[in-house]
A and B are shown apart, each in its own frame.
Chain A
Amino acid sequence: DSGVTQTPKHLITATGQRVTLRCSPRSGDLSVYWYQQSLDQGLQFLIQYYNGEERAKGNILERFSAQQFPDLHSELNLSSLELGDSALYFCASSSGGTNTGELFFGEGSRLTVL
């Protein structure tokens, strides 16, 4: 158990809809990362938050947004969903220190857009 909790585990929705994925990082970790994993693209970095502030952006679509709350949990909002957004969405956390590449991943939220 990595200590990172993600909900929901599975989500099925329709095109055009909006969903929110939630992540609770490991106790004490200040950084939260969101990744998208699909069969053809692999694990793609979306966005990072550190202690409530956006720290880095990757290949995140404008239809997607995220935030990190004062209690350090994070939410990823996906709107105007398209079929191609179907994927596994992972949250990961780290202590935020340098000189470590170790990320602790949750079990993911599997999104299916019909």
Chain B
Amino acid sequence: QKEVEQDPGPLSVPEGAIVSLNCTYSNSAFQYFMWYRQYSRKGPELLMYTYSSGNKEDGRFTAQVDKSSKYISLFIRDSQPSDSATYLCAMSPSGSARQLTFGSGTQLTVLP
């Protein structure tokens, strides 16, 4: 069993929809949680970064962490075609980038 599980999708939604992307994990030592966005033929880029449990909002994006359930989510409000990408969750027991464990990514398409 992988340490981080992520539904690969693909997920297709109409423009304006609310999108929910999720990851589960098994390592209770994870404290830092990230979401990376990867456009086609590009490298991943950091989208959201949270520490421990709770919510973090940045514009149309909200990241949620529930450590008791070992479950993290990324919500996208008012989704746009430009949000079409693969979203990878990543997590680490420390703040160190070298200890990051990535999910396999969820491919999202927002239809105009």
Closest to A93 in B: B97
**Contact between A102 and B44, CB atoms less than 8 A apart:** no
Shortest beta-carbon distance from A40 to chain B in Å: 8
| B43 in contact (CB, < 8 A) | yes
| A107 in contact (CB, < 8 A) | yes
- Please, how many angstroms separate the alpha-carbon atoms of A33 and B32 in the complex? 19
| B57 in contact (CB, < 8 A) | no
| B96 in contact (CB, < 8 A) | yes
Given contacts A94-B97, A100-B97, A102-B97, contact A42 B43 (CB under 8 A): no
Residues of A within 8 A of B95 (CB): 98-101
Residues of B within 8 A of A92 (CB): 43, 97
| A25 in contact (CB, < 8 A) | no
- Please, how many angstroms separate the alpha-carbon atoms of A48 and B42 in the complex? 21
Shortest beta-carbon distance from A107 to chain B in Å: 5
Residues of B within 8 A of A (CB): 32, 34, 41-46, 49, 88, 90, 92, 94-100, 102-105
Closest 5 pairs between A and B when the two form their complex, measured CB to CB: A105-B43, A42-B104, A99-B95, A43-B102, A56-B98
Residues of A within 8 A of B (CB): 2, 4, 31, 33, 41-43, 45, 48, 55-56, 90, 92, 94, 98-108
Q: List 11 interface pairs A-B (beta carbons < 8 Å), by A numbering.
A: A31-B97, A42-B88, A42-B102, A42-B104, A43-B102, A94-B97, A99-B95, A101-B46, A101-B97, A103-B44, A105-B44
Taking A98-B96, A108-B42 as known contacts, 20 extra A-B pairs with beta carbons closer than 8 A to each other, sorted by chain A number, are A31-B98, A41-B104, A42-B88, A42-B103, A43-B44, A43-B102, A43-B104, A56-B98, A90-B43, A92-B97, A100-B95, A101-B46, A101-B49, A101-B97, A101-B100, A102-B46, A102-B97, A104-B45, A105-B43, A108-B41
